[in-house]
Amino acid sequence: MSTGHSGQKELEGWIKPPNPELYINPLPVRIWHWLNALGFVVLILTGIQIRYANLFNVLSFETAVKTHNWVAFTVIANYFVWLGFYLFSDKITVYHPELNMRKFFDKAFKQIIYYSYGIFRGEKSPHKVQPYDKFNPMQSITYQIVMLLVVPIQFITGIMMWDIKRFEAPIAFLGGIRSVDTVHVLIFIFFVSFTMIHAYMGALGHTPSAHFKEMFTGYEEE
C-alpha cells in the first residue's frame, strides 16, 4: 500500500504541484524551449552533414540542405514567439539586468564560486529562483547576449546564404560570401558547445532530472 501511495503522490506532484508560487516556466516558454531545442539539434546535425558531406553520408546533400532551411525558418518563427511573449508579458523581468554594478559583481562572483567550487561540495546556489527572478546574474547576462545578439546574427547570416543572389548587396558589404559563411560556422561551433554545456548544467539540480522535469511541468522543485 505504501508504494501505491508514493506513486500517487508522485503523479499528483506532476499534475498539481504543492507550491504554486514556484511556477517558473509558463506554457508558452516550455513550448518554445522544446521546439527550439529540437530545432537546434536538427540544425546542428544537418549543418555537420552539409559542411562535411565527404565524411558523412547519413542524408544526401540536397536533403540535408532542404531540411536545414525548413527547420531554420521554423526556429526563426519560434524565436519571435519567445520574443513576443516576453515583450508583452510581465515575465520580461527575468531578463532585467542588475543595474547596480556593485550588487551585480557581488552576486556574479558568488555564482562563479558556486559553479567552480561550491556545487561539487553539495552547497546550495546563492541565487534563489523566483517566478520573476529566474536567472542568476551569470545566466541573465549570458542569455541576453545569446538571444539578443548571437542568435539574430546567426539568423541573418543563414538567410543570406539561403538566397545568395537576392542578398548579393549586403553580402558584398560584409566582405563577401566567405566572410558571411565564416561567421555562420563560428556561431554554429559556439552553439554546439552551448548546447552541450546547457544540457550539462541542466543535470545539476538536486536530482539529475529535476531541471528537465521543470521544463515539462513548469514548476521549480525546492
The domain ranges of the chain are 21-217
What local confidence, expressed as pLDDT, does residue 55 receive?
82
- Ranges of residues in the chain with a pLDDT under 70 are 1-21, 222
What local confidence, expressed as pLDDT, does residue 116 receive?
87
What local confidence, expressed as pLDDT, does residue 176 receive?
94
Q: How far is CA 20 from CA 6, 70, 112, 219, in A?
A: 21, 38, 30, 8
Of the candidates 82, 70, 106, which has an alpha carbon nearest to the alpha carbon of residue 32? 82
Q: For the chain, how many helices (H) and strands (E)?
A: 9, 0
What local confidence, expressed as pLDDT, does residue 131 receive?
82
Of the candidates 14, 15, 29, 37, which has an alpha carbon nearest to the alpha carbon of residue 210? 14
Contact 187, 153 (CB under 8 A): yes
Q: What's the pLDDT tens digit per position in 150-164?
A: 999 999 999 999 999
What local confidence, expressed as pLDDT, does residue 205 receive?
76
What local confidence, expressed as pLDDT, does residue 32 receive?
93
Cβ neighbours, 10 Å, residue 103 = 11
What SS3 class is residue 130? strand
> What is the rounded distance in angstroms from the CA atom of residue 121 to the CA atom of residue 138?
20
What local confidence, expressed as pLDDT, does residue 75 receive?
96
Write out the DSSP string of 71-125. Answer: HHHHHHHHHHHHHHHHHTSGGGGGG-----HHHHHHHHHHHHHHHHTGGGGTPPP
Pick the CATH number of 21-217 from 2.30.30.90, 1.20.950.20, 2.60.40.10, 3.30.56.10: 1.20.950.20
Cell (9 digits) for 173: 558589404
What local confidence, expressed as pLDDT, does residue 4 receive?
52
Please report how the helices 177-202 and 27-51 are oriented relative to each other, as an axis angle in degrees rounded to 10.
130
